[in-house]
């Protein structure tokens, strides 16, 4: 019954149905083997790939890229490290050519140190890239107005941060995230960045977010494969809990065993 | 089945005295093996696709750190165990070279791990990983500002805390490569430069001339150059800057933790310093990018602003040879041994790898705890396909 429920609950992004709600990044692993093992353990359908500007145009033949392709996952190229609209567009075009996909995780970085998104550059780049035929998944802050404007220019999926990239601080502003979920009930929302532990990923899913994207917490763990599995389970748990309907917290204790047979005056 | 094959190969591999050995690749592994085999009385020809004096090998570009603890924390605990063999072996080898009046600078002075104030959490994480993954004997020592200053007076004042790994060492890699070349030539080793080769069991073929030489054993130590004959070898781009200044003295490698980069400064002879290294999953071997130059130089500047007046004597990129698991591997068959995958640990792991190759060639069945990790018989089925092709 449960399994069936999960199977009937695909994640739909830009019209494509995906069975996993876990998206994993491919950077920072101690070896390509550890990366491949983690991807397999995660059960994810989508992995993000970064294109460093130094990479040559013909790097399609490179061994590392071949390993990434061999995972069989759908590739989501990102514009990691791009600091201007122009740079993001150039990287996006190169990625489209190299990875043969018009899907794009759009990052426009505003602060070099904590890699905070630049909302203004992001919006402009998103608008231009959508006109160029990209399916843009923007990495954004949790600001409602920014998110609405990204939808206005044609984004069909949003990826607000939990906290800055690589910090592992989790959901820094639950109020903003809840607001996004309530105000944009039909838009796929993926929490991207800042997730450090499975409990944080679970929390995001319990809040009704559609998926979680992370990298560092798995890649830099001492046993990446095991950590990928831990996240996969927590994301599934969070989703099931959300679908099942969480109980509201109550101020008073309420016994879960029947109280039939107890004299009424004991209930007070 | 595997055991039988293993035993069989070991017996067959027993090189008779004064065997002819051809080695492809004149980098660190090729030179160490050539030297040791010559000392053991074999005849050795060493081939390199480029020059021996202006080596294009990763070993020439490298910083020459022998740091089992830091590398294990950065990659995996296995590197600590493999690296300990290196710490033991290097002084013995260098003593051997020194007897022949070929001194090589080797400093067993430890290394220092620093982080800027705002990146203190990285240093805590580093210490946490160290504690969890490595044995008691590998635990570094916390230093405060005064102790940092006592060890390295030229490290800037703003570093409040550091980890010190007293066991770690570093070697002057270029001095070593040149000493090994001299010794190989002294012992009558034949060094054949600018000659690309193909390797197979008992046979080495010079690609340009088309000549074929039959030998008792062929060793393939070509690093990324072996890629065409070893599916699975990949290059990982690294970039370094080499500077020279008389104003600053460092006794030991200094590593700087940063949210996105791992940077180090290693002192070399003649007041030179190597700053490295980027790590990019790409086989692009073009010159250093502006971005990388900025990152490396600014890291250097923060270690001591006086580095601003240092002179940049070199900026180079190269490819580290690696396998999928980023571990070294020795593949062997009768008349052919292929070694690769030392990745970013060339000087740390060369001793343990060379020891295992030499044992294999001598037909020694050892109880090394690393046999399972390092030694792989060349797959029989793969060989069959290849011979029918």
CATH code, domain carrying B358: 3.50.50.60
- Domain match, B147 and B256 both: yes
* B229 and B314 co-located in one domain: no
Q: If you count residue pairs, one on A and one on B, with CB atoms under 8 Å apart, how many are there? A: 63
Identify the domain boundary among B304, B321, B338.
B321
B223 — alpha (psi -120 to 50), left (phi > 0) or beta?
A: left
Quote the ipTM score.
0.75
Decide if pLDDT at B247 tops 80: yes
> What CATH number did the domain enclosing B310 receive?
3.30.9.10
What are the DSSP calls for chain A, one per residue? -HHHHHHT--EEETTEEES--EEEE-SS-SSHHHHHHHHHHHT-SEEEEE--TTS-TTGGG-HHHHHHHHT-PEEEEE-TT--SHHHHHHHHHHHHHHHT--EEEE--BS-TTT--B-HHHHHHHHHHHHHTT-EEEEEE-S-HHHHHHHHHTT-S-BEE-SSSTT-----S-HHHHHHHHHHSTTS-BEEES---SHHHHHHHHHTT-SEEEESHHHHTSSSHHHHHHHHHHHHHHHHHHHHH-PPPP-SS---SS--TTS-GGGT-
pLDDT confidence of residue B386:
44
DSSP state of B288: P
- On whether both B255 and B153 belong to a single domain, the answer is yes
**How many Å apart are CA B141 and CA B163, to the nearest integer?**
6
Q: What is the pLDDT of residue A250?
A: 74
Q: Can you tell me the distance from the alpha carbon of B224 to that of B111, in angstroms, rounded to the nearest whole number?
A: 29
B145 and B239 in a common domain: yes
Residue B266 has pLDDT above 80, yes or no: yes
Say what the alpha-carbon torsion angle B34, B39, B41, B47 is, to the nearest 10 degrees: 10
Q: What is the mean pLDDT of chain B?
A: 90
**Same domain as B364, residue B374:** yes
How far apart are alpha carbons B250 and B243 in whole angstroms? Answer: 13
Residues in B closer than 8 angstroms to A56, CB to CB, are 282-284, 286
Q: Do B203 and B65 fall into the same domain? A: yes
Predicted confidence (pLDDT) per residue in A1-58, tens digit: 445 445 688 899 999 999 999 999 998 899 999 999 999 999 999 999 887 654 555 5
pLDDT top residue among A255 and A39 = A39
- Residues shown for chain B: 389
Predicted confidence at residue B387, as pLDDT, reads: 41
Last residue of a domain, one of B294, B321, B348: B321
Q: Which residue has the higher pLDDT, A77 or B12?
A: A77
| A208-234 residue pLDDT tens | 999 999 999 999 998 999 999 999 999
- Domain enclosing residue B127, as ranges: 111-166+235-321
- Same domain, yes or no, for B82 and B130? no
Residue B388 has pLDDT above 50, yes or no: no
**pLDDT classification of B222: cutoffs 50, 70, 90:** very high
* pLDDT > 70 fraction of chain B, expressed in percent and rounded: 93
In A, what residues contact B, Cβ < 8 A? 30-34, 36, 52-56, 59, 62-64, 67, 113, 166, 222
Chain B: residues touching A (Cβ < 8 Å): 74-76, 129, 132-133, 227, 232-234, 237, 259-260, 280-284, 286, 289, 291-292, 322, 324-327
**Within this chain, do residues B333 and B285 fall inside the same structural domain, yes or no?**
no
Average pLDDT over residues B215-238: 93
Cβ contacts of B132 on chain A, cutoff 8 Å: 222
Mean pLDDT, residues B139-153: 93
Q: Are residues B12 and B33 in the same domain?
A: yes
- Nearest residue to B318 via CA among B353, B268, B272, B282: B282
**Is the domain of B219 the same as that of B351?**
yes
pLDDT bin (cut points 50, 70, 90) of residue A259 is: low
**Domains of chain A (ranges plus CATH)?**
3-244 (3.20.20.70)
Through-space distance between the first and last CA atoms of chain B, rounded to whole angstroms: 25
Check: CB of residue A88 under 8 Å from CB of residue A108. Answer: yes
- How many other CB atoms sit within 10 Å of the CB of residue B296? 25
Residue of B nearest to A49 (CA): B281
Residues B36 and B162 in one domain: no
Structure tokens at B347: 């000087």
Kindly state whether residues B77 and B177 are assigned to the same domain. yes
- Those residues with Cβ within 8 angstroms of residue B76's Cβ, 6 or more apart along the chain or in another chain: A30, A31
Q: Indicate the number of domains in chain B.
A: 2
Give per-residue pLDDT as tens, A89-147: 999 998 898 888 999 999 999 987 778 999 999 999 999 999 999 999 999 999 999 99
Between the CA of residue B189 and those of B30, B182, B184, B300, B344, what are the distances in Å?
12, 10, 5, 41, 28
pLDDT surpasses 60 at B382: no
Q: How many CA atoms lie within 13 A of A205 on its CB side?
A: 27
Does pLDDT of B330 surpass 50?
yes
Determine the average pLDDT of the residues in A186-190.
Answer: 96
Contacts of A116 (CB under 8 A, 6+ apart): A109, A110, A141, A164
What would the pLDDT profile of B173-209 be if each residue is shown by its tens digit?
999 999 999 999 999 999 999 999 999 999 999 999 8
* pLDDT for B10: 46
Could you give the residue numbers annotated as active site of A? Answer: 105
């Amino acid at each position: 019954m449960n399994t069936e429920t999960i199977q009937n609950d695909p994640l739909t992004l830009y019209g494509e149905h995906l069975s996993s709600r876990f998206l994993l990044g491919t950077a920072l692993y101690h070896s390509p083997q550890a990366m491949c093992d983690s991807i397999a353990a995660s059960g994810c359908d989508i992995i993000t790939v970064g294109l460093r500007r130094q990479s040559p145009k013909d790097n399609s033949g490179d061994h590392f890229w071949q390993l990434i392709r061999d995972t069989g996952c759908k590739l989501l190229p990102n514009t990691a490290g791009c600091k201007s609209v122009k740079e993001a567009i150039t990287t996006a075009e190169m990625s489209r050519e190299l990875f043969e996909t018009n899907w794009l995780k759009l990052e426009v970085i505003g602060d070099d140190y904590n890699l905070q998104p630049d909302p203004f550059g992001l919006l402009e780049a998103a608008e231009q890239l959508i006109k160029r035929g990209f399916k843009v998944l923007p990495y954004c802050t949790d600001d409602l107005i920014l998110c609405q404007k990204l939808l206005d220019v044609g984004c069909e999926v949003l990826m607000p941060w939990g906290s800055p990239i690589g910090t592992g601080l989790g959901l820094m502003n639950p109020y903003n995230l809840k607001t996004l979920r309530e105000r944009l009930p039909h838009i796929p929302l993926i929490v991207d960045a800042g997730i450090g532990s499975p409990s944080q990923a679970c929390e995001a899913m319990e809040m009704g977010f559609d998926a979680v994207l992370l990298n560092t917490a798995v890649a830099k763990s001492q046993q990446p494969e095991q950590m990928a599995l831990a996240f996969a389970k927590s994301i599934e748990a969070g989703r099931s809990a959300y679908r099942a309907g969480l109980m509201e917290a109550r101020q008073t204790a309420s016994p879960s065993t029947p109280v039939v047979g107890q004299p009424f005056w004991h209930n007070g | 089945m595997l055991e039988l094959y293993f035993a069989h190969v070991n017996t067959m591999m027993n090189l008779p005295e004064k065997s002819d050995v051809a080695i492809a690749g004149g980098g660190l592994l090729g030179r160490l093996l050539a030297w040791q085999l010559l000392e053991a009385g074999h005849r050795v020809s060493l081939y390199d696709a480029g020059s021996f004096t202006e080596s294009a090998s990763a070993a020439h570009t490298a910083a020459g750190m022998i740091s089992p603890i830091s590398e294990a924390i950065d990659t995996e605990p296995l590197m600590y165990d493999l690296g300990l063999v290196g710490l033991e072996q290097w002084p013995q080898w260098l003593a051997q070279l020194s007897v022949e009046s070929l001194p090589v600078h080797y400093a067993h002075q430890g290394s220092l791990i620093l982080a800027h104030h705002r990146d203190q959490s990285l240093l805590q994480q580093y210490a946490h990983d160290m504690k969890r993954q490595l044995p008691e004997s590998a635990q570094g020592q916390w230093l405060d500002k005064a102790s940092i200053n006592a060890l390295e007076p030229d490290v800037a004042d703003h570093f409040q805390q550091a980890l010190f790994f007293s066991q770690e060492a570093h070697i002057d890699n270029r001095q070593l490569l040149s000493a090994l070349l001299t010794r190989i030539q002294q012992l009558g080793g034949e060094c054949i430069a600018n000659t690309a080769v193909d390797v197979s069991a008992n046979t080495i073929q010079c690609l340009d001339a088309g000549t074929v030489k039959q030998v008792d054993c062929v060793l393939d130590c070509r690093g990324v150059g072996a890629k065409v004959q070893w599916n699975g070898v990949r290059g990982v781009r690294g970039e370094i800057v080499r500077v020279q200044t008389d104003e600053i003295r460092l006794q030991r490698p200094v590593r700087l933790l940063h949210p996105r980069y791992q940077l180090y400064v290693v002192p070399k002879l003649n007041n030179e310093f190597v700053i490295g290294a980027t790590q990019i999953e790409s086989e692009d071997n073009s010159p250093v990018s502006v971005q990388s130059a900025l990152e490396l130089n600014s890291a250097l500047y923060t270690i001591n602003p006086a580095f601003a007046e240092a002179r940049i004597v070199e900026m180079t990129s190269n490819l580290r040879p690696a396998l999928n698991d980023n571990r070294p591997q020795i593949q062997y068959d009768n008349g052919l041994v292929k070694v690769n995958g030392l990745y970013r640990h060339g000087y740390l792991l060369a001793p343990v790898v060379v020891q295992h190759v030499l044992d294999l060639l001598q037909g020694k069945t050892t109880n090394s705890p690393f046999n399972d990790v390092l030694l792989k018989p060349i797959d029989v089925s793969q060989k069959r396909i290849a011979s029918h092709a």
